[in-house]
């Protein structure tokens, strides 16, 4: 059913260059495509003018991204590069797998971050940036791993103990990092930084270790 809806939307967009398109979800979660904005339930509708893929970033999007980057304390250049790779800044972009909008949110990801309408620019950006920040923190600010997880999913990272050997994912990382003025040269394994602990034994010895014994007497200091 979803594939049929996406196909209709793509057909609508293809044959309506220059026309205004309205996309909304009904009460059952179905996508409704129209060329008229309804006076009812306008909060859940997205109105935009269909056009070819933009060559530059709309100024209004940059302002939103700057505000959200500051709000969520995430790199602005990372957000911009991800959106460029994901949708080329088309709010009505739809992937073959059903990802939608500027940051190409899948239904489960959208639900996780409270996004009710994935075509809505503000909701899509908010949800996508929250997810990107989550990944950036989870992989300890490692850009290639963060991008790989955004593209292929966390399970793929876990399964391959690092960046999965998918051509699409490797190209995605290269393309996105290139947009940031950075270079990606190859695979990376995910090795979480281990915490180091420092404590003193009964006989006065100072011990520094990455794994504490079952029982430790005295104060334990965590070394960053």
Choose, from 20, 28, 86, 224, the residue flagged as catalytic: 86
Question: Which tokens in the block code for residue 210?
Answer: 């990455």
Q: Which residues, at least 6 apart from 48, have a Cβ–Cβ distance to it below 8 Å?
A: 20, 21, 91, 92
CATH of the domain at 100: 1.10.530
Q: What is the pLDDT of residue 193?
A: 64
What pTM does this model have?
0.65
In the chain, pLDDT over 90 holds for what percent of residues?
55
Domain end: 138, 155, 185, which one?
138
Catalytic status, residue 86? yes
Same domain flag for 204 and 110: no
Task: Give the tens place of pLDDT for each residue, 12-49.
Answer: 444 444 444 555 555 555 556 555 545 444 444 444 44
Q: Which residues, at least 6 apart from 186, have a Cβ–Cβ distance to it below 8 Å?
A: none
Task: Give the tens place of pLDDT for each residue, 125-173.
Answer: 999 999 999 999 999 999 999 999 999 999 999 999 999 999 999 999 9
| 166 in a structural domain | no
Closest CA to 190 of 156, 152, 219: 156
Count of beta carbons in the 10 Å neighbourhood of residue 48: 15
Give the mean pLDDT of 198-210: 78
Q: What is the pLDDT of residue 204?
A: 78
Provide the number of structural domains found in the chain: 2
Q: What is the pLDDT of residue 200?
A: 81
With contact defined as beta carbons under 8 Å apart, do 96 and 102 qualify? Answer: no
* Strands 196-200 and 45-49, sheet pairing: unpaired
Give the mean pLDDT of 109-128: 97
Domain that holds residue 50: 2-138
Q: What is the pLDDT of residue 14?
A: 43
Q: Output the CA torsion sign for 128, 133, 138, 143.
A: positive
Q: What is the pLDDT of residue 207?
A: 78
Question: Which tokens in the block code for residue 170?
Answer: 């490797």
Q: What is the pLDDT of residue 126?
A: 98
Q: What is the pLDDT of residue 219?
A: 75
The rounded mean pLDDT for the chain is: 80
Same domain flag for 127 and 201: no
Closest CA to 188 of 169, 210, 207, 216: 169
Same domain flag for 208 and 116: no
Q: What is the pLDDT of residue 210?
A: 73
| 165 in a structural domain | no
């Amino acid at each position: 059913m979803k594939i049929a809806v996406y196909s209709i939307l793509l057909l609508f967009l293809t044959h309506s260059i220059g026309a205004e398109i309205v996309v909304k979800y009904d009460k059952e979660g179905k996508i409704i495509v129209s060329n008229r904005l309804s006076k009812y339930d306008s909060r859940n509708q997205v109105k935009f003018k269909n056009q070819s893929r933009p060559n530059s970033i709309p100024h209004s999007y940059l302002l939103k991204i700057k505000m959200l980057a500051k709000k969520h304390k995430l790199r602005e250049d990372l957000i911009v590069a991800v959106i460029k790779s994901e949708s080329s800044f088309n709010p009505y972009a739809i992937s073959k797998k059903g990802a939608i909008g500027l940051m190409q949110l899948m239904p489960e990801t959208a639900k996780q971050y409270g996004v009710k309408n994935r075509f809505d620019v503000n909701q899509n950006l908010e949800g996508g940036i929250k997810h990107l920040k989550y990944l950036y923190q989870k992989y300890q600010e490692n850009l290639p791993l963060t991008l790989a997880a955004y593209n292929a999913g966390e399970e793929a990272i876990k399964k391959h103990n690092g960046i999965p050997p998918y051509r699409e994912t490797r190209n995605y990382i290269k393309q996105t990092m290139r947009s940031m003025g950075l270079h990606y040269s190859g695979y990376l394994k995910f090795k979480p930084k281990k915490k180091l602990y420092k404590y003193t034994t009964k006989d006065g010895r100072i011990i520094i270790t990455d794994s504490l014994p079952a029982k430790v007497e005295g104060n334990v200091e965590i070394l960053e």
